[in-house]
Structure 1
Amino acid sequence: MTKRTRLIILLICFVLFFTITPWIVLYSLGYKIDFKNGCIIATGGIYIRTEPSGTEVTIDSKIDKKTSFFSNSVFVQNLTPELHNIIIKKPEYFNYYKNIIVKENEVTKIENITLFKNSISFNKIMGNIDYSKTSIDDKYIFAVITNNKISTLSILDLSNLQLKNETIWPIKNGEILEAKWSDDSSKILLITKNNYYIFEPFLEKQKIILLPFSNTFKEVMFNPQNSNEIFAIRNNNLEYLNLLNLIKTPTIASKIIIKEILTYKIENNNIIYLAFDGNLNKSDISGKNTEIITSFPILTDKNSSHKIFVNNFGIFILKNKDLLLLNSRTKAFDFFLADVNELKLSPDNQNIFFITNDNEVLLNHSNYEYIQGQPQITQKILLNKFYEKISDCFWINNNYLILKADDKIKISEIDNRQNINIIDLPNKFMFEGKLYPIENFQMYFNSQNKQIYILTNKNLIYSDRLLP
C-alpha cells in the first residue's frame, strides 16, 4: 500500500468520524433528524404499564413490544414529538386503543391500562327474587324470595354462593320497598309502606323488630359506628332510638335531639346537619356541643330536597339537582355543578365522578383550585355523553368505571387524553343450556371479588371476575 493510498484512507476515516459522530452523540442525547422539515428535533418517549401481563404493544403499526410475567411495562424512546397511535392486544381480551401526544424531551406515561376479557359470562344464582341488597362489607346479599305467596328473607353468602339462613316474612308486614345494611353488616333496616323494621339475620334465632316509626319518619339510618343506634327525621326534628333499650322496653319512643333540621349526615361520630335557617352545623352524636360550620346560610325551603356528602373533596350539599361545595376559605357554599343525579368517590379518594343530565359522566380530581374564592368548574372533565340513561355507576378500581346505560353494561376508562376506551359487556346469561336476556335490571359491583351482581326479571345472576 503506497503512502498516497494510506493518506486517502486516513482522510476518509477522518471525514466519516467527524460526520457520523455528531449524529451518534445527538441520538444518544435524544435528538434526531427531521428529514421532512430539514431540521434537528428533540425526541420523546412513551412508558406503558398494563394488566394483565403478556400483552402485545404496537406503536404506529411499526414498533412491537411485549410485556412479560416479570415485567408488565414497556418503554419506547426516540419518538418524534407528535401524535402516536397505540394498540395493546392479548388473546381473549378486548383490544385497547389510544392516541397519545409525545412531547420533546418528555416521557409520556400510560400507567393504568387494564384489559378486560371479551368473553365475560353471567351465571344464575337463584330465581323468584323480589328485592336484593348487598352488605356494606360486600360479603352477603340480602334477598326477598317469593314462593307460593310466601316471602322469605334470605342471606346469600358470596364466598360460596350458598344460602346462609332463611326467615319467613309475614305478609301482614307489607311489601319490602327498601333495605339498608348497617355499616358493620350485622343488621338490616327494612322499609315498608307504613313501617320500619330491624332484621338481625346472624343471630342464632333470627329476629325482626318493629320500630316505633311510622311513615311520617324519613331519612332513617344507623349510626355507622354503632348499629344499635337509629336516627330519623320527623316533623323536621332529628330523633334518636337505642335498639337495646327498645328490646328491654318495647313501648319506648324515640327522643328529639336536634330541632328544625332539613337533612343530616353522621360522620366520625358527629352529626353534620343543615338547619332551617340555611346554616350547616355540627354536633356530637347526642346532638349537643353544636357549632356552626358556615359563615353564610344557603337559601332553603321545605319543598326542596337536600342531601349532604362528606368526602376528601370537602362538604357538598345537593339541593334538588344543584350541587354546592363548601368553600374552605370563606366558609360559604359555592355553586359547583348543575343537574347532578349521583356522585361517588374513587377508592383512593383522588377522583370523583358525577352523573349529570341522566346521561353524562363527569370527572374531577381532588386537586382543584379556587380563583377569587370560586371553585374552577371549567376543570370538570366530560368523560362521555351517552345516548342512553345512566342509572347505576361504580368504580371498578381507581382508573375504570362500570355503568348501567339503559339495558347495557359498559366499562369506561377515566384517562381522557385524546380518545376514551369504552367496552360493552354481554347482555345475556346462560341457564340450563338456554340464553336469557339481561333486561330491566339492577346492578351492583362487588369491590371485594370484582364481580357484578344483577337482578333481572327476578333472577339473581353474577359475572366472572372482571379484573385479572
Structure 2
Amino acid sequence: MNRIRPFLFWLFVVIFLSTTSSVLFYTFGYRFNFERGIFVYTGSISIKSTPEKVDISVDGELIPQKKLGILNQSIHIGGLTPGEHMIEVTAPGYTTWSKKTTIQSGLSTEFWNVLLVKTENTKEDVEHTENAKRIFQSRDKWILAVAKEKDNLFMVDIVNTDTHTSNTVFSFPAVSLPEDTKENIEWSPDNKKLLIPVTKNNEREYFIVDIATKAMFSLGEKVNTTEVGIIQTPRWDPSNKNGLLYMKNHILYRMNTASPEQEPVILKENVKSYNFSGEDIYYLQSDNGVIYRFFGNNPNEKPTQISTTTIPLIDQSEYTLILYDATRLTLREEKTGKLWLYNDTHQDSERTPLKEIAEKDIDGVQFSDDGKKLLFFSKNEIFVYFLRDWEAQPIRMKDTSLQIARFSNICKNIIWDEDYEHVLLSIDDTVKIIEIDHRDKRNIMDLVKLPGHILQILPRTEENFLYFTVKGNTVSRMVLSEKTNIFGL
C-alpha cells in the first residue's frame, strides 16, 4: 500500500496539470487540431444585426443561443478555427443573410451592418395623394408638398400625413412638373413659401407661392424677361430671409421675394453654375473653369479660389455643383455625365486638385451625412467613393472607390439608406436594398414590390417612414424601422 500511494499521488498530479493546462488553453482561445496534432489559436466573429434577435449558423451548424455572447447589442462567437467559414444569419419572417469569410488566429472578424429584410412588408396609402407625380418634404415633420396632375390641371397640395388633412395652394392649367428631377419644388428656409418650377411647350417657368395666403407671382415676369430659358437654377437663399438666388445670362442675382418689385442685386458675373454651403456661395466661373467661394452676405469681397485645375467648359452644356462642405464637392457635366471631385483631407502641403473620377454617364451623386462617403451612379452602375479613412471593418482607405452593383435593367431613385452602409434603388416596380460590404458576395434584397412603375423613393427618418410615389397611383409608405432595431424592415 505504501508503494501505491506515491504512484497515485503523482498520477493525480499529472491528471490535474494536464486538465488544468487544457482548460487554460481552451480559455485563452486554443483548440487541439487532431489532424495536425497541434494546438491552434482560434479566432472569432462579431455580428451586429437588424433585427437583433437572430439565429447564426457557421458552416451549416446552428450555434446555440447560450453560446452567443451579447455585448453592446452585438453577437460575439469565439473559438473558430482559422480558415474559411460560411456564416448565415436567419430570423423567422426575414430573408437570409450569408457571407463567406476567412477567420484569422487571434483576430475578430466583424460585421457591423448585417441587415435582414422582412419577406412581407406592409404598406399603407397616404390620404389626399391621388394623381401624385412627386412629393417634396418640408423641414416640419409630417408635412409634404404633393405635385399632382389631373385633367390638364397641375396642382400642388400641402398634405399633413399625421392629421390627414390637405390644402391646395397652387393650381395652373396646361403646365406640368419638369421631367428633369434636378429641378424640384423647393420649400423656403422658414417653410412659408414654395418655389415651383413648371414646363409649358418645353419652356420653363418658376412661380413663388405664399402658402398661407396662396398669393403667387411668376419669377420671369418680375425680372422683366420673356426670353426662353434665360432664368436658370433659382434657389432659396439659406442666409437671407425671403431671399431667392437665380442666374440670368451667366450673372448670379439675389431678389427679395417679399418685395419682388425691388431691383435684384447682382452677386457675381461670369457664373456657369453655383451652389451653397451654409452662408458661403460656391460658383464655377464661366470664363476660366475654376471654382470659387464667397460669403453670401458680402458679395463684394474677393472670392477664394477653391480648385486649381481649369475645367475645359462646353458652351452648350450645363454643370452641376454638389457640396458637402468647404473640403468636399463634386462637379458634373450634364451632356457627357463626366464627374470631378474635390476632396481636401488637410494632409497635403499642396492645394487639392479637382480630379476626374468618372469619364462619362454619371447621372447623380449624394454625400453621406457624415461626409465620409460619396455615392455616384449611372443608369446601370452604382459606385461609392471613400472620402475619409474608414477604420471599422471592412476597412477602406480614403480616395478609393468601389463598384457596388451593375444591373442589366435601368435602375432609378438611387439614394443612401439611413446607415450609409446600404443603398436603396428601384428597378421597374421593385424597391431593392444592397449592402456596400465588398467581402465575398454583396447581399441584394427586394424590399417591397409596388403596383406600378416607381417614380420616387423618399425616406423620412424623423417620421420612421419610407414613402413611394408610383405612376398612376396614390403615394404609399411603409415603416422604416422597428423601435428596438436600427432598421428592422
Q: Normalising to structure 1: TM-score of the pair?
A: 0.85
**d(CA) in 1 for partners of 2:309 and 2:456?**
40
Deviation track 1:20-40 (CA, whole Å, cap 9, x = no partner) reads 443333222222222233333
1:103 maps to which residue?
104
What secondary structure, in the 3-state scheme, does the structure 2 residue paired with 1:389 have?
A: coil
2:171 maps to which residue?
169
How many residue pairs get aligned? The number is: 444
What secondary structure, in the 3-state scheme, does the structure 1 residue paired with 2:24 have?
A: helix
What secondary structure, in the 3-state scheme, does the structure 1 residue paired with 2:357 have?
A: strand
Cα drift, residue 263 of structure 1: 0.5
What secondary structure, in the 3-state scheme, does the structure 2 residue paired with 1:25 have?
A: helix
Q: Tell me: CA distance 1:186–1:115, structure 2 relative to 1, closer, same or farther (3 Å).
A: farther
**d(CA) in 1 for partners of 2:133 and 2:36?**
66
Cα drift, residue 134 of structure 1: 1.7
Q: Tell me: CA distance 1:40–1:337, structure 2 relative to 1, closer, same or farther (3 Å).
A: farther
Q: Is the 8 A contact 1:128 1:146 kept in 2?
A: no
What secondary structure, in the 3-state scheme, does the structure 2 residue paired with 1:363 have?
A: strand
1:188 maps to which residue?
194
Asked if residue 208 in structure 1 is aligned to residue 194 in structure 2, the reply is no
**d(CA) in 2 for partners of 1:64 and 1:365?**
38
Instruction: Report matched runs for 1:250-399 at 5 Å.
Output: 252-276=262-286, 277-285=288-296, 286-289=298-301, 290-311=303-324, 314-320=328-334, 321-326=337-342, 328=344, 329-339=350-360, 340-356=362-378, 358-367=379-388, 379-398=400-419, 399=421
Letter in 1 for 2:409: E
Moved over 6 A (4+): 66-71
Q: Tell me: CA distance 1:440–1:296, structure 2 relative to 1, closer, same or farther (3 Å).
A: closer
**d(CA) in 2 for partners of 1:242 and 1:281?**
24
What secondary structure, in the 3-state scheme, does the structure 2 residue paired with 1:192 have?
A: strand
Q: Tell me: CA distance 1:348–1:271, structure 2 relative to 1, closer, same or farther (3 Å).
A: closer
Q: Is the 8 A contact 1:337 1:377 kept in 2?
A: no
Cα drift, residue 440 of structure 1: 4.9
2:444 maps to which residue?
422
**d(CA) in 1 for partners of 2:4 and 2:164?**
88
Cα drift, residue 142 of structure 1: 1.5
Name the Cα RMSD after superposition: 2.8
Q: Is the 8 A contact 2:123 2:477 kept in 1?
A: yes
Letter in 1 for 2:65: K
2:87 maps to which residue?
86
**d(CA) in 2 for partners of 1:43 and 1:55?**
24
Letter in 2 for 1:192: V
Q: Tell me: CA distance 1:183–1:93, structure 2 relative to 1, closer, same or farther (3 Å).
A: farther
Asked if residue 113 in structure 1 is aligned to residue 114 in structure 2, the reply is yes
Q: Tell me: CA distance 1:88–1:296, structure 2 relative to 1, closer, same or farther (3 Å).
A: closer
Q: Which moved more, 1:154-163 or 1:5-14?
A: 5-14
**d(CA) in 2 for partners of 1:456 and 1:448?**
22
Q: Normalising to structure 2: TM-score of the pair?
A: 0.82
Q: Is the 8 A contact 1:128 1:147 kept in 2?
A: no
Q: Is the 8 A contact 1:187 1:227 kept in 2?
A: no
**d(CA) in 1 for partners of 2:210 and 2:70?**
47
Asked if residue 229 in structure 1 is aligned to residue 243 in structure 2, the reply is yes
1:405 maps to which residue?
427
Cα drift, residue 343 of structure 1: 1.6
Q: Which moved more, 1:298-307 or 1:129-138?
A: 129-138
Cα drift, residue 401 of structure 1: 2.0
Letter in 2 for 1:48: I
Q: Is the 8 A contact 2:69 2:76 kept in 1?
A: no
Q: Tell me: CA distance 1:380–1:112, structure 2 relative to 1, closer, same or farther (3 Å).
A: same
**d(CA) in 2 for partners of 1:383 and 1:148?**
42
**d(CA) in 2 for partners of 1:302 and 1:18?**
84
1:460 maps to which residue?
474
Q: Tell me: CA distance 1:327–1:465, structure 2 relative to 1, closer, same or farther (3 Å).
A: closer
Q: Tell me: CA distance 1:11–1:60, structure 2 relative to 1, closer, same or farther (3 Å).
A: same
Cα drift, residue 44 of structure 1: 1.0
Aligned equivalent of 1:157, options 134, 157, 160: 160
Aligned equivalent of 1:129, options 124, 128, 131: 131
Cα drift, residue 74 of structure 1: 2.0
2:37 maps to which residue?
38
Deviation track 1:289-324 (CA, whole Å, cap 9, x = no partner) reads 123223342222313332212226612222342222
Q: Which moved more, 1:301-310 or 1:262-271?
A: 301-310
- Over the matched positions of the two proteins, sequence identity in percent amounts to 19
2:393 maps to which residue?
none
Q: Is the 8 A contact 1:409 1:425 kept in 2?
A: yes
**d(CA) in 2 for partners of 1:150 and 1:332?**
48
**d(CA) in 2 for partners of 1:318 and 1:150?**
34
Q: Tell me: CA distance 1:9–1:69, structure 2 relative to 1, closer, same or farther (3 Å).
A: closer
Structure 2, unmatched stretches of 5+, are: 179-183, 345-349, 391-396, 483-489
**d(CA) in 2 for partners of 1:195 and 1:464?**
34
Cα drift, residue 13 of structure 1: 2.2
Deviation track 1:82-131 (CA, whole Å, cap 9, x = no partner) reads 22222222222222223232211112222233333221123333454253
Cα drift, residue 155 of structure 1: 0.8
Letter in 1 for 2:476: Y
**d(CA) in 2 for partners of 1:38 and 1:57?**
29
Q: Tell me: CA distance 1:20–1:336, structure 2 relative to 1, closer, same or farther (3 Å).
A: same
Q: Tell me: CA distance 1:168–1:353, structure 2 relative to 1, closer, same or farther (3 Å).
A: closer
**d(CA) in 1 for partners of 2:235 and 2:132?**
22
Structure 1, unmatched stretches of 5+, are: 370-375, 429-436
Cα drift, residue 368 of structure 1: 5.1
Q: Is the 8 A contact 1:453 1:460 kept in 2?
A: no
Cα drift, residue 260 of structure 1: 1.0
Q: Which moved more, 1:270-279 or 1:333-342?
A: 333-342
